[in-house]
Structure 1
Amino acid sequence: MLGACSSDEGSGGLGFGFGNEDAVEQGDLRSTIPYEVELVGIDAQESDLLSALEAVSTARRLQSRPTASRAGLQRRAEDDIERFQAVLRSNGFYDGQITFDIQEKPVVPQSGNENTELSENADAGDATSDTANGAASEDAVSPADTPTPLVLTYNIDTGAPYLISSVDLVIVRPDETIERPATDEELVRTRLQIGQRATAQPIILAEQYGVDVLKDQGYPLVKSTKRTVMADTARKTISIKYAFETGPAANFGAVTVNGAEQVDQDFIAGYRSWDPGEQYSPEEVRTTRRDLAQTNLFDSVIVKVAGPVGENGEIPVEINVVERKMRSIGGGLDFSTAEGPGGNAFWEHRNLFGAGERLRLGMDVSSLEQGVSAEFKKPQFLERKQSFVADAHAKNNDTDAYKGSTIDSFVGIERPLGENWSASLGVTAEYSDLTGSDSPNEEFYLAGLRGILRHDNTDNPLDPTKGTRFEINVSPYMGLTDQDTGFTSVSLAGSQYLSVDKDGDYVFAARARTGTIIGEERGSLPSNKRYYSGGGGSIRGYEYQKVGPLDDDHDPLGGRSVLEVGFEFRARVTESFGIVPFVEGGNVYARSEPEDISLLWAAGLGFRYYTAVGPLRFDVALPLDKRDNVDDDFQLYISLGQAF
């Protein structure tokens, strides 16, 4: 502490600072000695070590404040020796030797002609000038007055690095003390390996990892007490001994909720992932905190044990929350040359009855469809993490494939099935009154089941850079007024994202979709239940629903099976802009299985402007299999979020 707080050169005289060299102005070259610093002897592969040495060097740090004497520079170097020794030890070099040397920097002589000319000028002109003015200027600095720069060279011999030879644990429990070597599993958990270099950071971090290991065994109040590191200079090894006091083992006790004002406390406590009386586990604490944070009801969630272990062997748990605003509104705009301008708006309440019930009302308007929707979700329904879901949609349709109105509704259960998997199952009822090219003025009343299995481990819903999405949808329908009507729709869709670099600026993305309808011929199916392809959400470059069978007027008929594929390379060129070349292909078939695998292909180039909520997308696509009198030369698409 004293060394760090004192000046580098000290003070002279009687101690009043008259001799303090730091008081000399830096610009006075007659009072300070500039110097350079060199570190030699470090292996070229030890670049991190060299950077650490330079970072702690006092001589390097104060190089812009030259010393007033060689002795001052020597004191800086002596101070660095201790700092360098600490850095070497922290990097596993316990036998390092450091010396330093201070020499004058070699002066490069000037050419003889220049010296002669200067000498002649000095003899003739300067002498006359001094005589004329009566005296030479005292502020003039001659080469003889300028001190010769110094070179401070540190010679560093690191020696052989020390290796970890053993890791032992001293575990003090309320009823016993155990001293033993760490198991292979414990070494993995603490990120240590026998034989690795004995650097400081992994050794220090391993102590906290050891605390986590014991917490996983049911000791919520465990703490580390003493870490002992012994060096064997003969074998060049380090032995480490960690000591822990576990405190009593505990089970989960009562849960207290703090900070809840609008959200029901029992609802919040119901998010605990453990059963009452279950052995304490920090993983369950983390799971509960994560699940509560994902409800979008809170700005902050803290889950922690509170207080000592009770006589019953249970430890209480506190859940501290800060609620967020429960209502929100939003909307968006999009445009494509095939579908024209479109927009959507929504209003959402995330805590309708005080237990996280979410109600979302929406409206979508475009030249092809106009509709309203309502979605309701009640979490923690009957079981933890199980939700009751219901939705309804009413639309007016005016597409080339069909015109008229549709109403559909769904009521069911949604729940997770392991990590990144979820499923929903329920009943649906639908009404349609549509006019199509091969189904004029037909009404359908349908009832059915809907089962969906999903997998999603992507990192961003609007702009994923890694992970996979996968969905299987099976929906059997039957007619309510026409008992002979019955069919089953099965579809599979998925996408894959692979980042080329660690920052996710360059991403390969691919998608595929296939589907089939079993049980009815195409002419007996409601027009809106058939498969269609083409447009911004499927195959860019072709008009909306125009890929597949067409009638004599080039209007789409739809089909009983579909196949689509797409590939993109997403390159984020700058922080705000990116380009996306893409290729997509697909087709729709009249039968429930494709007659062949012939696809209509399209290619294009997209531009992205990255915003806080997601990328703004602008795509230009060309049909590679352009059909006469059917397809345009190109299509444009503008919307928010990636294409898939």
Structure 2
Amino acid sequence: MWFTSSWLVLALAGQVQQSNAGQVQQPSAPVQAQPVDPQADKPIVSDPQFDSALPVLSDDINAPLEPMPAAPGAAPSGNVQPTGANEALAPVMAETPELTAPLPPLGTFDSTPPTEVADIDDKDVVIRYTTVVRGLDDLDLTGQFNGLSALKEGGGKAANAAMITARAREDEALAVRLMKSKGYYDGTAISTIEQPPANAGDPIRAIVSATPGNVYTLSSVKIDAGPVLPPDLLIRELPLKIGDRIEADRIQGAEANLALKLPQQGYPFVAVGQRDILLDDAKWTGDYTLPVDTGPRSSFGTYSTEGKLAFDAKHVGVLARFKDGELYDNRKVDDLRDALVATGLFSTVSVEPRRTGVIAADGTEKVDLLVRQEAGPPRSLAATAGYSTGEGIKVEGSFTHRNVFPPEGALIGTVIAGTQEQGLSGTFRRSNAGKRDRTVTITAAANHSNYDAFNAFTGTLSARISYDSTPIWQKKFTYAFGVELVGTNESVYDFGLGRDARRTYGIAALPSQVQFDTSDSLLNPTKGYRLKFSLSPEASVSGGVRPYARVLVEGSIYQPVSESIVLAGRIRAGTIPGIARDDLAPSRRFYGGGGGSVRGYGYQRLGPFDPNGDPVGGRSINEFSLEARYRFGNFGIVPFIDGGNAYEGITPKGSDLRYGAGIGGRFYTNFGPMRVDVATPLNPRPGDGKVALYISIGQAF
């Protein structure tokens, strides 16, 4: 009552003040005496008239304001018309209906501030709290909730209570989203903040309670798409059925499977649309509909290239493992991309199918494969270094131009500098030579070796055709065959003369080998096995022509026994029939001992000796090795035991083995392990050292 009356009084006073001000601003005029009006002090509206004009108000202070009744004859306008003494004021009409609606109670407003507002950094105030989650354990959602929770992310500390409340409200929404992802679309969640008892010193408890409700299942599964071949392809590759839970992971996984499998079966341009699930909250079910644009059924056609080219589209066809007209399969396209990467000629390369509109006889549309190339630097330098007892220090450097004769014609120059070996070689290598994975190599080399077994100056000219593994493209089956011409001048102990002599040998060989490899790595295998067979028919010319053959069989196995321990074993046996040992060039004989043989003994120190105590090699050999490879992080420890020997005859023996044992350290890098092995002979002969050291790259086998 007072508020309304005062407002009206102030309004009238303002009108009066505005009128007086207007009089002051009038132009000046002579002041004249005015007669005194006896009615001047009489009020315009008497108090009884004013009070009777006021509307009747409710006694309920919380009741909404009531509209003032319109006076008879009042204009239906929002403008207030002048009133007489006995007229009621006309109501002001609202421009929108919402303005006439009652105001909601203040208690219904959510006064919780957003997290970004509540989460202020106030280092002077810290409130500790614990988070309690209820109702999600049975759904296996507690772990996901804890990983995404705003309360958990806060670490149990907040600057103020508003911050805790804001985080709890966020976690309510999180719990509801997680329940929906499991098919509980009626799920609800509520958070409560429990204050500890006064002076208890316990932290506040923020409790998020989830109520999942009923789980929803699929009542129908429909794919909205055109006809495909075979007719059941879509429903077969969308692993959803009536009765399945409407779980986010299940639905998304099924759709991803459809998008993955169709390009493998002739549909490279498939586009999976946005699903629609119509829920029935009375039955707790949902009708699932998925639109799919399959695009045309397609087959392989042409190739095209663009970008900075390493080679042309014709050579791309050499790398492909499919034929023109074959049904499109993106797994074969991925295989082609891997083969392009394995060439090592690109900084980036991609393969993309493109529509051509050309229809084949079987009704499929031909696809053009666009290869986008960005040729990388073709030149590279490489170096390796190692040390072992008997071989000394050995450093090898190489320069390679990988594409000097396109396509994939490489030129490689190699230099070996060591304390006991020096060499120089040049190699031409054509990779993917007319056929995928076929390599043609031609090499010319000059080498000097100075070991206890022999001192040799050797020149070699060789050619080789091979199907090899690479670090990027490891193959189960590999092979190689070729021709080799060797001229060598070597020191040899002449047992007839009883002294050292130098002889020159001419050797022609046809070396070949096959290997079956199921291991998981070339340089650091942890499982699988390898079998290798080598055969080299040869002829030696030194005072006559003497044909013979070098035969070598080798196998290794790798068996993991735990996540950090791998047991590895190797056996090796070889023979050289058809020639006497002393007619065989020393560099072509078998020797045992060294980092890749029986560790603990010097390089080539196992086998028969001459009267001077130098090894002379033999025509047969046998070896074995056992290792326990324990890895922790990027480091490893490898205890090992080796055994073996070389023999003068063509049949290896098992009764005269020499054993070595030791321990190695490994440092694992992204290109292979660095190896350091220390070994000692277990049954040494006179003259054998007590300790042998080997440093190199890669495992021993």
TM > 0.5 between the two? yes
Partner residue of 1:225 out of 273, 284, 309: 273
Aligned-partner residue type, residue 370 of structure 1: Q
Aligned-partner residue type, residue 9 of structure 1: T
Could you say which residue in structure 2 is the equivalent of 1:423? 479
Partner residue of 1:201 out of 249, 254, 279: 249
Distance 1:181 1:578, change over 3 A: closer
Aligned-partner residue type, residue 699 of structure 2: Q
Distance 1:33 1:596, change over 3 A: closer
Aligned-partner residue type, residue 385 of structure 1: D
Deviations 1:544-567 (A, max 9, x none): 111122233322121222111122
In 1, the alpha carbon distance for the partners of 2:598 and 2:128 equals 70
**Structure 1 residues 20-29 or 398-407, which shifts more?**
20-29
Q: How far apart are 1:224 and its partner, in Å?
A: 1.3
Aligned-pair identity (%): 30
Q: How far apart are 1:338 and its partner, in Å?
A: 2.5
Tell me, yes or no, if the aligned pair for 1:169 and 1:179 is still in contact at 8 Å: no
Could you say which residue in structure 2 is the equivalent of 1:172? 225
Tell me, yes or no, if the aligned pair for 1:34 and 1:67 is still in contact at 8 Å: no
In 2, the alpha carbon distance for the partners of 1:21 and 1:369 equals 74
In 2, the alpha carbon distance for the partners of 1:290 and 1:592 equals 45
Tell me, yes or no, if the aligned pair for 2:184 and 2:212 is still in contact at 8 Å: yes
Q: How far apart are 1:51 and its partner, in Å?
A: 2.5
Distance 1:430 1:25, change over 3 A: closer
> Are residue 631 (structure 1) and residue 682 (structure 2) matched?
no
Secondary structure of 1:259's counterpart equals strand
Partner residue of 2:206 out of 152, 157, 163: 152
Tell me, yes or no, if the aligned pair for 1:621 and 1:634 is still in contact at 8 Å: yes
> Are residue 276 (structure 1) and residue 324 (structure 2) matched?
yes
Q: Which has the larger radius of gyration?
A: 2
Distance 1:426 1:82, change over 3 A: same
Q: How far apart are 1:530 and its partner, in Å?
A: 1.3
Tell me, yes or no, if the aligned pair for 2:305 and 2:312 is still in contact at 8 Å: no
Q: How far apart are 1:451 and its partner, in Å?
A: 1.5
Tell me, yes or no, if the aligned pair for 1:170 and 1:177 is still in contact at 8 Å: no
Deviations 1:443-468 (A, max 9, x none): 33222322111234545444344444
> Are residue 402 (structure 1) and residue 454 (structure 2) matched?
yes
Partner residue of 1:9 out of 97, 101, 112: 112
Aligned-partner residue type, residue 630 of structure 1: G
Give runs of aligned pairs for residues 602-613 of structure 1, distance below 5 A.
602-611=660-669, 613=671
Distance 1:443 1:234, change over 3 A: farther
Could you say which residue in structure 2 is the equivalent of 1:36? 130
> Are residue 641 (structure 1) and residue 698 (structure 2) matched?
yes
In 2, the alpha carbon distance for the partners of 1:377 and 1:468 equals 29
> Are residue 291 (structure 1) and residue 348 (structure 2) matched?
no
Distance 1:540 1:34, change over 3 A: closer
Deviations 1:337-366 (A, max 9, x none): 322222212111111212111222212233
In 2, the alpha carbon distance for the partners of 1:451 and 1:149 equals 77
Could you say which residue in structure 1 is the equivalent of 2:13? none
Could you say which residue in structure 1 is the equivalent of 2:492? 436
Q: How far apart are 1:631 and its partner, in Å?
A: 0.6
Tell me, yes or no, if the aligned pair for 2:355 and 2:366 is still in contact at 8 Å: no
Could you say which residue in structure 2 is the equivalent of 1:133? none
> Are residue 349 (structure 1) and residue 404 (structure 2) matched?
no
In 2, the alpha carbon distance for the partners of 1:27 and 1:376 equals 70
Q: Unpaired segments of 5 or more residues in structure 2?
A: 1-108, 496-500
Indicate the structure whose relative CO is greater, using CA pairs within 8 Å and at least 6 residues apart.
1
In 1, the alpha carbon distance for the partners of 2:696 and 2:121 equals 63
Tell me, yes or no, if the aligned pair for 2:305 and 2:313 is still in contact at 8 Å: yes
Partner residue of 1:86 out of 177, 184, 187: 177
Tell me, yes or no, if the aligned pair for 1:166 and 1:181 is still in contact at 8 Å: no
Give runs of aligned pairs for residues 167-566 of structure 1, distance below 5 A.
170=223, 172-173=225-226, 182-183=235-236, 186=237, 199-228=247-276, 242-307=290-355, 309-311=357-359, 313-415=365-467, 419-438=475-494, 440-479=501-540, 484-499=545-560, 506-566=565-625
Distance 1:535 1:303, change over 3 A: same
Secondary structure of 1:306's counterpart equals strand
Tell me, yes or no, if the aligned pair for 1:513 and 1:565 is still in contact at 8 Å: yes
Secondary structure of 1:585's counterpart equals strand
Aligned-partner residue type, residue 506 of structure 2: Y
In 1, the alpha carbon distance for the partners of 2:259 and 2:422 equals 59
Q: How far apart are 1:432 and its partner, in Å?
A: 2.6
Q: Unpaired segments of 5 or more residues in structure 1?
A: 1-5, 12-19, 111-147
Q: How far apart are 1:597 and its partner, in Å?
A: 4.6
Give runs of aligned pairs for residues 76-155 of structure 1, distance below 5 A.
77-93=168-184, 96=187, 98-107=189-198, 150-155=204-209
Tell me, yes or no, if the aligned pair for 1:220 and 1:305 is still in contact at 8 Å: yes
In 1, the alpha carbon distance for the partners of 2:404 and 2:194 equals 79
Partner residue of 2:640 out of 564, 575, 582: 582
Secondary structure of 1:547's counterpart equals coil
TM-score by length of 1: 0.79
Q: How far apart are 1:621 and its partner, in Å?
A: 0.9
**Structure 1 residues 283-292 or 449-458, which shifts more?**
449-458
Distance 1:166 1:327, change over 3 A: farther
In 1, the alpha carbon distance for the partners of 2:290 and 2:660 equals 64
Secondary structure of 1:395's counterpart equals strand
Deviations 1:46-78 (A, max 9, x none): 3xx213223444454566445556xx8667545
In 1, the alpha carbon distance for the partners of 2:386 and 2:229 equals 69
Q: How far apart are 1:109 and its partner, in Å?
A: 5.4
Tell me, yes or no, if the aligned pair for 2:175 and 2:210 is still in contact at 8 Å: no
Distance 1:178 1:232, change over 3 A: farther
Q: How far apart are 1:506 and its partner, in Å?
A: 4.1
In 2, the alpha carbon distance for the partners of 1:572 and 1:642 equals 13
